[in-house]
Amino acid sequence: MDKANVPGITFTDDKTANVVLWAPYADKAELVLKNGQTFQLASQPKGYWTLRTEELKAGDLYKFRLNGDKELPDPASRSQPDGVHGYSEIVKLEDERVNQPDIPLSDYIIYELHTGTFTTNGDFAGIETQLQYLKELGINAIEIMPVAQFPGQRNWGYDGAFPFAVQNSYGGPHGLKHLVDACHSNGLAVILDVVYNHLGPEGNYFNEFGPYFTDKYQTPWGKAINFDDAGCDEVRNYFVQNVLMWFRDFKIDALRMDAVHAIKDFSPKHILQEIREQVDELMAETGNKHYLIIEFDLNDNRYINPVEQNGFGMDAQWIDEFHHALRVTAGGERNGYYSEFEGIRHLAKSYTDAYVYDGIYSEGRQKTFGTKTNNPGEQFVVFSQNHDHVGNRMLGERSSTLFSTDMQKLMAAAVMVSPYLPMLFMGEEYGEQNPFLYFVSHGDKELIEAVRTGRKNEFKAFHAEGEAPDPQSPDTFERSKLNWDSAEQSKHQEMLDYYKRLIQLRKSTPALHNNNRQQLEVSFNEEQKTLHLHRWEKDQHVHCFMNFSGQQHAFQLPSGLKLIFTSTGTSEASKLQPASITIYSN
């Protein structure tokens, strides 16, 4: 691997450290160890400063001194043991030679978790203690919310200020590497959530080094990252190298890229396409498989179409519209971003068309929105809840406190029988009662107040009444942790057993496992709130009858079918129980 354009400090062999800093704003750059030892960096074209030396070793703490004055952490630091304002740490990861599990994306059953709240420990080692539980549940891929270094010890992760550094309070880079190896040893893939649309405000020293941001565009977080303005080549390289680091050095199986619709790039080659091409080169070099999944709400399949078809080549995307339609169908509120969804008609459309708004008029946007897509089902990730749609509620309520047990089971099944990749949010499988709230631990008082004010304003669209929990309070964070003791209670064990059966049904039933959007038919009764999903694979036909109403309804059962699953535990031929799913096969 050519280390010439890899930012930060890497090792070319056991002894030789390669230092690369992009600081075009500087006239002089030095590396200063915490013990005072200083190294002069050599000026290179395009604003780079470099050094090759055998005097630096793993564990050394350092900063960069610009123009003989200001000392700053490395923007490509691999570790910030003392937080976002402290010294950077030189890191050398050992390769444990654990093979990545050969799990194709089409087989992924995903479990999203937040490291700080998944266990009492709140770190990577805590996650490792639950790997056997996750295997027994039936999932085969965990998705870890962002781990890039953020201020303090409590944060969702979307305020990261050091994209290359792994959060110190979680266990740092060595802790993450150990977790990934442990997952692979247990046959689990690892998806890491990364943020390339903005950088957190606290500990963000990027403007001191170079034009990482541009005035050309604004995002919800301020100035856009500079992907297409003057100086953008090296900014693009910074993020491309970040992607390659996760795959090459940590053996991460897939990345979930946050809100890529907020990436502003009008270059002839979009940054996502450049990432795709660089990842393809890495895979050809290593023989390992890696996937790129995006969070994306523009309903434009150009992002997930292959590069050969003038797309950006992303492997898959989240589709919130399935979630919104499902929640409204289940009786959830129709306000905020739910207001445009009409329940069962839109749920049926999402089953067949993936995008609900696929070139039709959107009242909320006041324009025709979206494109039609015939992309295969494994390019879409669906869910009945996730960190956003739980945590962005004012009180962070989970489905377990908003819907009946029967309706929760139906919603879970509606996800699992879809022709898309299913995702669970931590704790939903046993009906966790604790909320998942929004929390931070900033050190800047003005920023803390700005966050509090922003949260209050955010809930106006949902007509929420009362006070939002204080994001800065440690109690808000503690309340968001999973209560594993409650999972032992009988009602939670019943839900957990249900999820295990449901996941096994998807895995063992070819017609439900195939992700084939073409071998699917949907009919529905809007008045009765019932839906009939028919899927098939070769000679196997599966019929899923869903009742989202509070009344029993009769249905026409095709001849020659036998019952293979029911959410209620009881079944009466040709009758659908309230809030239930009944599945038949030939």
Count the neighbouring beta carbons within 10 Å of the beta carbon of residue 330.
23
- The answer to whether the annotation marks 322 as part of a ligand binding site is yes
Contact present, 113 and 143 (Cβ < 8 Å):
yes
The C-alpha torsion from 95 through 97 and 103 to 105, rounded to 10°, is 20
3-state secondary structure 302-370: HHCCCHHHCCCCCCEEECHHHHHHHHHHCCCCCCHHHCCCCCHHHHHHHHHHCCCCCCEEECCCCEEEC
- The answer to whether the annotation marks 475 as part of a ligand binding site is no
Count the neighbouring beta carbons within 10 Å of the beta carbon of residue 177.
23
- The answer to whether the annotation marks 391 as part of a ligand binding site is yes
- The answer to whether the annotation marks 64 as part of a ligand binding site is no
Helix or strand run (H / E) with residue 536 = strand 530-537
- The answer to whether the annotation marks 242 as part of a ligand binding site is no
Which has the closest alpha carbon to 312: 302, 323, 322, 321? 302
Contacts of 141 (CB under 8 A, 6+ apart): 103, 108, 109, 110, 111, 188, 189, 190, 191, 253, 254
Q: What is the Cβ-side half-sphere exposure of residue 23, based on CA atoms within 13 angstroms?
A: 29
- The answer to whether the annotation marks 228 as part of a ligand binding site is no
- The answer to whether the annotation marks 261 as part of a ligand binding site is yes
Q: Which of 228, 258, 378, 429 is catalytic?
A: 258
258 has catalytic annotation: yes
- The answer to whether the annotation marks 346 as part of a ligand binding site is no
- The answer to whether the annotation marks 451 as part of a ligand binding site is no
What are the angstrom distances between the C-alpha of 359 and each of 141, 230, 303, 316?
Answer: 33, 35, 16, 20
71 has catalytic annotation: no
- The answer to whether the annotation marks 387 as part of a ligand binding site is yes
206-235 b/e with 16+ CB inside 10 Å = b? beebbbbbbeebebebebbbbbbbebbebb
Q: From CA 434, how far away is CA 455, in angstroms rounded?
A: 20
- The answer to whether the annotation marks 392 as part of a ligand binding site is yes
Count the neighbouring beta carbons within 10 Å of the beta carbon of residue 526.
12
Q: Which of 112, 181, 253, 295 is catalytic?
A: 295
- The answer to whether the annotation marks 258 as part of a ligand binding site is yes
- Sequence length of the chain is 586
For residue 42, list its beta bridge partners.
50
Residue ranges for the known binding site for substrate are 256-261, 320-324, 387-392
Residue ranges for the known binding site are 256-261, 320-324, 387-392
Positions marked catalytic: 258, 295
